[in-house]
Each structure stands twice: as structure tokens, then as C-alpha cells.
Amino acid sequence: MLRVAIAGASGYTGFELIRILSHHPQVELTTITSRVQAGQRLDAFYPAMKGHCELVFENTTPEVLTANADLVFTALPHQAAMDFVPNLLERGVKVIDLSADYRLKDPLVYEAWYQPHKTPELLAQAVYGLPELHRQRIRPARLVANPGCYPTSIILPSAPLLQKALIDPKTLIADSKSGVTGAGRGVSLAVHFCEVSDSFKAYKVAEHRHTPEIEQELSGLAGEPVCLTFTPHLVPMSRGILSTVYATLREEVTLDRIDEAFASFYRDAPFVRLCGRGELPTTLQVRGSNYCDIGWRVDERNRRLIVVSVIDNLTRGASGQAVCNMNLMSGMPEELGLDYAPWQP
């Protein structure tokens, strides 16, 4: 049994980790921490968990987290993660960090979008934890930077197209729509039921901090710099992200070549399901699961490709993907503990 701990376990991401790990057949969840909830039982805070987890939130310190763990998930705000992760690594545990702090390779890019990085020397060893792109490098990693929810939903539908040079990278636009859990469990007017219900809005247009990690990964695939226009929107639903990705096809690219690119890129990916040309997925069909479902369609009048991807932002966009990375880092099957059907309806 792998012994694991979760730092910052009281939010939606932390809870989703607890939910998945409490049923993982080869994991013992030993420790959950929360600065604010320290001392409280998990099942008092989340009555749903009664009978499934008897843990009590402890204080978030390196000592507590590493006392009984071989691997630690850090689900802390960015900046806070940076203060913590080096300490954990020094104590010999493996770390999967769900913040943005170790996703970018270039500390100057991090500084441009966030603020100065305190431990830039760790960036080289951190692996960007998107299994479909970096499976082989994740397996031996000691520090995995778990991707953001929007980036997961945008990189996966774009990757085969850029790798095979089927689209013009200068024309790439990602119009994404997210459920409200993406904003976290913190309270604010922006997540008040009556401000969200029966409403729809865009936010952080062309300035969302998930932009540089998408560009880093897509540039690597394209072999040239990719500069994306990215527009997030808020949907009155709890879970799910749908990204509509637009790009102009390069000359002579046929529909069959697009289909083939997707099929070959995801041939061995257990968590990507291709709907195919013309069939478009809904967020509901992946809810609660680690799947990314992808469909596409060509606007032939404009030679523009439209790819639609859906994920569950808490599972594939955060905690499910983190467990998948844990499986890979621990020599377990990639799907272990994650191979259940989506929640319907």
C-alpha cells in the first residue's frame, strides 16, 4: 500500500482527492491537512464522507505531511505551494503539486504572469503531469506539476493537430466554458447562487494565468512558438469544462488526415475518448470521471477546424489527473482507482 497525504484538503480539489483515494485499492490515505479546519473531522465538514473516512484535518506543516506518507499531494494556492514543496522533497517524499508553481519551465514567464519564483532550480526537474504528453517522464519523476483545468481541456484537443502540423498556430483560439467549482469553495459574490443562476459571462478575457502553460506545451508540440487567444466563461453548473478550439487548416489538409491524427495520437490513451468527426460531446457525459472526450467538425466554407473537448474540471482537470500521475509514479496501472463510469445524469 502506498501511503499518501494531502496538503490543503478542505477545498473542492482536496475533497475530490479524498473521494477518489478513499476507494483506491492500493493507497492508504494517512493524513489530510488544512490551516483553517485543523482539528475538525472530515465527515463533520463533509457529511457525505461519513463511513468512508475517519480522518481529522491536521495543521499544514512538512512534519505532519511526511510523517506517514510516501507521496504528498499539495493542493495549496500558488505561492504557498512554492514555500512548501522544497521542504517535502528534501524529506524524501514524492510530490504532486496541484498549484501553478511548477508548471512553467521558464522562471521569467512565471514572473511575468505571477510574480518572482522562489525556487527556480526545481523547475527543471518538475514534470508537467499530462500523461498523454509526458507519460514516460512522469513515471520516474519526484515532482510532478499537475496541469490546470483549462490547459488540460485545451492542450488535449490541440496536441495532435500541432504535432502533425495540420493547423496554422497563429490562428489558434480557445473559447472555454467552465462550471463554478472551478472558482473553488471560497465565498464571494461571484459564486453566490443568485448571481450565477440563469446567467452566463466571460471573465479574465485574454489575461487568464492558464495561458502560458498552454502555450508552453503547445509550442513544444508544434516545434515553434504558439501564441494563443484564450477566453474563459462561467457556466451556471457545478462541474465541467467545454473548450471550443478554433484554427485554420493548412493547405491540402484533408478531413481524413485530421481523423487519423487524433486516432494515432490517442491510440493508447485510456482516458481520451474520441467521438469522431461531426459527433460533439457534452460535459455531462464525462461528469465525475477522468475522461476527456473530443469531437471535431470542419467549417469547409472557411477551412476552419472546430474541435470540442469536455472534461470534468475537478476530476480530469485536477484530482483525477493527479491520481493518474500518482499511479504512474508508483508503478501502478494508469487507470487504477479511476476506472468507473461517469455520473449520469
Residues acting as catalytic residues: 149
Residue closer to a copy of itself, measured from CB, 85 or 305: 305
CB of 12 to a copy of itself, least distance (A): 7
Stretch that binds a copy of itself, among 58-66, 116-124, 234-242, 321-329 (CB under 8 A): 234-242
Copy the grid coordinates of residue 7: 496538503
Strands 127-128 and 94-97: unpaired
The backbone region for 141, taken as left when phi is positive above 0, alpha when psi lies in -120 to 50, beta otherwise, is beta
Q: For the segment 143-182, give every residue that binds a copy of itself (CB under 8 A).
A: 170-171, 173, 175, 177, 179-181
Question: Which one, of 340, 339, 343, 334, lies nearest residue 134 by Cα?
Answer: 334
Q: Which residues of 51-69 are buried (b: 16+ CB within 10 A; e: fewer)?
A: eebebbbbebebebbbeeb
Q: Is residue 256 part of the contact set for a copy of itself (CB under 8 A)?
A: no
CB of 340 to a copy of itself, least distance (A): 6
φ, ψ at 132 (rounded to 5°) = -65, -20
CA distance 132 to 325: 11
Residues touching a copy of itself: how many (CB under 8 A)?
Answer: 84
Question: Which one, of 279, 180, 164, lies nearest residue 223 by Cα?
Answer: 164
Q: For the segment 67-126, give every residue that binds a copy of itself (CB under 8 A).
A: none
**Residue 18 near residue 29 (C-beta atoms within 8 A):** yes
Q: Is residue 192 part of the contact set for a copy of itself (CB under 8 A)?
A: yes
CB of 301 to a copy of itself, least distance (A): 6
Q: For the segment 283-342, give every residue that binds a copy of itself (CB under 8 A).
A: 283-289, 293, 297-302, 304, 306, 308, 310, 340-342
Q: Is residue 26 part of the contact set for a copy of itself (CB under 8 A)?
A: no
Residue closer to a copy of itself, measured from CB, 56 or 237: 237
Q: Is residue 48 part of the contact set for a copy of itself (CB under 8 A)?
A: yes
Stretch that binds a copy of itself, among 140-148, 152-160, 240-248, 317-325 (CB under 8 A): 240-248
Q: Is residue 50 part of the contact set for a copy of itself (CB under 8 A)?
A: yes
CB of 122 to a copy of itself, least distance (A): 28
Residue ranges of E strands in 102-181 = 127-128, 143-145, 173-178
- Find residue 308's DSSP bridge partners: 244, 295
